[in-house]
Chain A
Amino acid sequence: MSPVAQPNLGQVLSGLLQALLGWAPVRAAQGRLKDWGVTGRMAVTAVPYLWLLVFFLVPFFIVLKISFSSVEIAMPPFAPLIQWADDKVMLIRLNLGNYQFLWEDELYSSALLNSLKMAGVSTILALLMGYPMAYGIARSSREWRNILLMLVMLPFWTSFLLRIYAWIGLLGINSPINQMLLALGLIDEPVSLLQTDWAVYIGIVYSYLPFMVLPLYTAIEKLDGTLLEAAADLGCRPTRAFFNITLPLTKEGIVAGCMLVFIPATGEFVIPALLGGPDSLMIGRVLWEEFFNNRDWPVASAVAILLLLLLVGPIMLYQRAQQAAGGAHR
């Protein structure tokens, strides 16, 4: 009924913004910022940097600081790094013992190696399962594609912890799988996969598969189909064309997917804690135990720093691969 059209939210907001920018104090402040060399673009890009600084870099330095401290029965349970002596002398005590301890105690190095092995095997398994999935989705018809992609992401809608607990039920002695195998006569007595490395592999692959499938899907979907036709035209059989054309041209997606699985899987602690046995010792679990059971914050911090340093390597490798791929496709 009203002759005036209702302005939508966007118009209202932009109107408000205009009014705000026109307000004299704001304009004065803007002018001063400009004098200091701060432009609008800088202000916008500063937000994520500020976020990373406050929530990543500062915590990192706190952890680094604690890793050079020593245990104390106090609140918090470590000795301060900097102390003031009576005669106004600043004492900095760097305790390198935590790192030495990690080096000397075989538990840590074996847990670390085991983590790398578990993460590596899981990544390969996820790649072997994820590639055909991604390929199938990318080559399916348009209406199916969205449904299939949604199915890949569907597990995220329920709690991660809940899904891992569900696997305890599925892998246990009385699980439906065991009962089915017994009924079929394939096994004589129930086998339990729980508390084995295989349970951990299953858990990691299951949880991280979507992170593998999505970048692979993007890469395969981008692949120009006429390249495969050209290969066939030149006498290349489909299997060979896959290894000569498809695989090298989707390398970017393979590297991205593997990194997205490998990096978090290395530090994973929930899955080995719930599904793994005493042998499947992973560094994330060691970290957890140091921190919460032993209340040895300095050693836990040292473990965390070590893990971080180990993962920086593959992350840099990933970045370089991405840059190379970016250059090659111009």
Chain B
Amino acid sequence: MANTRPDEKLKPWQDPQALPYVRIERVTKRFGDFVAVNHVSLDIYQGEAFCLLGASGCGKTTLLRMLAGFEDPCEGRLFIDGQDMTGIPPYERPVNMMFQSYALFPHMSVEDNVAFGLRQDGVPKAERQERVSEMLKLVALDGYGKRRPQQLSGGQRQRVALARSLVKRPKLLLLDEPLGALDKKLRENTQFELINLQEKLGVTFVIVTHDQEEAMTLASRIGVMNHGRILQTGTPSDIYEYPTSKYVADFIGSVNMFEGRLVEDEPDYVRIESPELGGTVFVDHGVSSAPDAKVWVAVRPEKVRLDRERPDQPDNVFSGTVKEIAYLGDVSRYLVALDSGKLVRVTQPNTDRRDDRVTWEEQVWVSWSPGANVVVTQ
């Protein structure tokens, strides 16, 4: 699902020569005693769609509002296009924002809403009209210009808000839960429209969302936030496949987590003993951790296999009983109780229409390959 661009050899964040378009330097924001953003440093490059992902109250919106200029950092500095943003009011920043509530002006028509930013810059009337109608065409709202925002549906309002924030051709667009108010079907369509638009216009996006699926679809990179800190940044597949902490592994997608201790610690493999699992886990890569330290093995449900016969592999095979089945059409989700009592989530694709799938209370073997699991130490 990641935004792969085959034409690019080196991603800007991998290129040491690349200059970041947005630089966040050890920024802290406190509201009274509450630390909303805690020493965050982050570089965002031109043309990226960077997603700040986290549960509500994690500080992602505060960080976005600091970029827009609605809040001032208590410590640290923000640079946009190399320019220090300290003390620069929102109306002088080269940034536009799309608000979660859309914040459309209720007393103005759709046209006037979109034209508002251009009017502030003193763009002459003829050009203004041209750019507004061009923008409305881009978001597929031509013909709606004379309406009031109240006369539009939720999806149409969202597109007006997008048109209004793009009409000034900003180099950086901040989006606060851009699809939050839309229903599921509309959301999926709009996600792809947003990506297309972003690539077409070459705008740098910073998106705030609590919805991991949205982040995975939209983002070139994701920054997972918790308690005012950025826990991990990386491409969607990095974050999903190689989480570096329990929180990230748990927050993105669904995961099975087994607590254990390192019993064999070699450079190219490790063995972890987990009383929870009632056995040891073999991992085909090294782990940088003290021997005998407490670690967690994370395995995604779709990487776990489910068989009636014991599969022919030496490690990572455990027996159990099927407790719950959820048939979702494309996949089925199983909850398997291991002999140790630990519940394991398994997702299996329903590849054919057979009727002999495993059923409740059936004895099964769960297994996964040594490369399927990730070890996290915190």
Contact = CB atoms under 8 A, between A and B. Distances in A.
A237 B120 CA distance: 8
Nearest to B161: A230
22 contacts: A224-B103, A226-B103, A227-B103, A230-B103, A231-B116, A232-B90, A232-B91, A233-B95, A233-B97, A233-B165, A234-B117, A234-B164, A235-B117, A235-B120, A236-B91, A237-B120, A245-B105, A328-B106, A328-B148, A328-B150, A329-B106, A329-B150
B313 to A, nearest CB: 56
A234 B120 contact: yes
Interface residues of B, number: 26
Contacts of B95: 233
Interface of B: 68-70, 89-92, 95-97, 99, 101, 103-107, 116-117, 120-121, 148, 150, 164-165, 168
Nearest to B120: A235
Given A233-B96, A234-B168, A249 B116 contact: no
A56 to B, nearest CB: 35
Contacts of B120: 234-237, 240
A229 interface: yes
A230 B107 contact: no
Contact of A229 (B99, B107, B117, B150): B99
B111 to A, nearest CB: 14
A232 B89 contact: yes
A231 B165 CA distance: 11
Contacts of B105: 227, 230-231, 245, 249
A235 B92 CA distance: 6
Contacts of A227: 103, 105
A230 to B, nearest CB: 4
Closest 4 CB pairs of A and B: A234-B117, A230-B103, A235-B120, A232-B90
Contacts of A3: none
Contacts of B148: 328
A330 interface: yes
A249 B116 CA distance: 16
A248 interface: yes
Nearest to B93: A233
Given A227-B105, A330-B150, A237 B91 contact: yes
B103 A229 contact: yes
Nearest to A330: B150
A234 B150 CA distance: 21
Contacts of A329: 106, 150
Given A224-B103, A230-B99, A233-B68, 16 more contacts: A226-B101, A226-B103, A229-B70, A229-B99, A230-B105, A232-B69, A232-B90, A233-B165, A234-B91, A234-B96, A235-B121, A235-B168, A236-B120, A245-B105, A328-B107, A329-B150
Interface in A65-106: none
A172 to B, nearest CB: 47
A235 B99 contact: no
Contacts of A226: 99, 101, 103
A279 to B, nearest CB: 43
Which secondary structure dominates where chain A touches chain B? helix
A249 B105 CA distance: 9
Contacts of A230: 97, 99, 103-105
A230 B102 CA distance: 9
Nearest to A248: B107
A328 B99 CA distance: 21
A290 B120 CA distance: 58
Contacts of A244: 116
A234 B119 CA distance: 9
Contacts of B117: 234-235
Contacts of B99: 226, 229-230
B161 to A, nearest CB: 9
Interface in A242-283: 244-245, 248-249
Contacts of A231: 105, 116
B65 to A, nearest CB: 8
A238 B69 CA distance: 14
Contact of B116 (A224, A234, A328): A234
Given A229-B70, A235-B120, A328-B150, A249 B90 contact: no
A226 B116 CA distance: 15
Interface string A200-231: 00000000000000000000000010110111
A194 to B, nearest CB: 45
B107 A233 contact: no
B110 to A, nearest CB: 14
Q: Select the residue from B101, B103, B104 with max chain A CB neighbours within 10 A.
A: B103
Contacts of B103: 224, 226-227, 229-230
B162 to A, nearest CB: 13
A233 B104 CA distance: 12
Contacts of A232: 69-70, 89-91
Contact of A249 (B96, B106, B121): B106
A249 B168 contact: no
A238 B116 CA distance: 14
Nearest to A325: B107
Contacts of A249: 105-107
Contacts of A240: 120
Nearest to A241: B91
Nearest to A249: B107
A142 to B, nearest CB: 15
A244 B112 CA distance: 11
A226 to B, nearest CB: 4
A233 B91 contact: yes
Contacts of A224: 101, 103
A232 B95 CA distance: 11
Contacts of B90: 229, 232-233
